[in-house]
Amino acid sequence: MVRLASTPADFAFCADVCNAVHPDNPVTGEMFAARTTGRFVVHDAGGYAIVDRSSIPGTAFAMVRVHPDARRRGIGSALLEAASSEARELELGRMYGRVAGGDGESLAYVERRGFGETGRDLTVVLDARVGVGEVAEGIVELGDEHLRGAYDVAAECLPEMALPQVAAAPPYEEWLERENDASAVAFVALDGDEVVGYARLCTFSDKRLENGLTAVRRSHRRRGLATALKRAQIAWAAEHGYTEILTSTVAGNEAMRGVNERLGYRPISEEIVVEGPVP
- Verify that 197 and 141 share a domain, yes or no: yes
Report how far residue 228's alpha carbon sits from residue 134's, in angstroms, rounded to the nearest whole number.
8
Residues 6+ apart with CB under 8 A from 79: 2, 41, 43, 47, 48, 49, 64, 66
Q: Residue 228 falls within a domain, yes or no?
A: yes
**Residue 88: beta bridge partners?**
none
pLDDT in the model for residue 86 = 93
- Verify that 167 and 234 share a domain, yes or no: yes
- Verify that 86 and 168 share a domain, yes or no: no
pTM for this prediction: 0.80
Q: Do 263 and 126 form a contact (C-beta atoms < 8 A)?
A: yes
- pLDDT of 163 above 60: no
Q: How many domains does the chain have?
A: 2
- Verify that 62 and 155 share a domain, yes or no: no
Question: What whole-number percentage of the chain has pLDDT above 90?
Answer: 62
pLDDT in the model for residue 255 = 85
Q: Residue 61 falls within a domain, yes or no?
A: yes
Q: Residue 245 falls within a domain, yes or no?
A: yes
Residues 6+ apart with CB under 8 A from 25: 123, 246, 268, 269
- Verify that 132 and 56 share a domain, yes or no: no
Tell how strand 39-43 and strand 47-53 pair up: antiparallel
Q: Residue 28 falls within a domain, yes or no?
A: yes
Report how far residue 252's alpha carbon sits from residue 270's, in angstroms, rounded to the nearest whole number.
14
Q: Residue 59 falls within a domain, yes or no?
A: yes
Residues 6+ apart with CB under 8 A from 269: 22, 24, 25, 100, 101, 122, 123
- Verify that 83 and 139 share a domain, yes or no: no
Residue at which a domain ends, from 92, 118, 149: 92
- Verify that 33 and 84 share a domain, yes or no: yes
Q: Residue 105 falls within a domain, yes or no?
A: no
The 10s digit of each residue's pLDDT in 179-207 is: 887 789 999 999 999 999 999 999 887 78
- Verify that 163 and 51 share a domain, yes or no: no
Q: Where are the beta strands (DSSP E) in the chain?
A: 2-4, 39-43, 47-53, 59-66, 94-100, 116-127, 139-141, 183-191, 194-203, 208-216, 244-250, 266-277
Closest CA to 140 of 200, 186, 194: 186
- Verify that 134 and 252 share a domain, yes or no: yes
- Verify that 145 and 261 share a domain, yes or no: yes
**pLDDT tier at 150, thresholds 50, 70, 90:** very high
User: What is the tally of helices (H) and strands (E) in the chain?
Assistant: 8, 12
Q: Residue 97 falls within a domain, yes or no?
A: no
Q: Residue 275 falls within a domain, yes or no?
A: no
Closest CA to 98 of 249, 273, 247, 269: 273
Q: Do 27 and 205 form a contact (C-beta atoms < 8 A)?
A: yes
**Residue 266: beta bridge partners?**
125
Report how far residue 89's alpha carbon sits from residue 92's, in angstroms, rounded to the nearest whole number.
8
Q: CATH number, domain at 44?
A: 3.40.630.30
Q: Could you list the residue range(s) of the whole structural domain that residue 62 is in? A: 2-92
Closest CA to 200 of 218, 215, 185: 185
The 10s digit of each residue's pLDDT in 13-69 is: 999 999 998 887 788 898 898 887 889 999 999 999 999 988 888 889 999 999 999
**Residue 42: beta bridge partners?**
3, 48
Residue at which a domain ends, from 92, 107, 142: 92
Residue at which a domain ends, from 73, 92, 111: 92
**pLDDT tier at 269, thresholds 50, 70, 90:** confident
- Verify that 130 and 55 share a domain, yes or no: no
Closest CA to 33 of 23, 42, 25: 42
- Verify that 130 and 215 share a domain, yes or no: yes
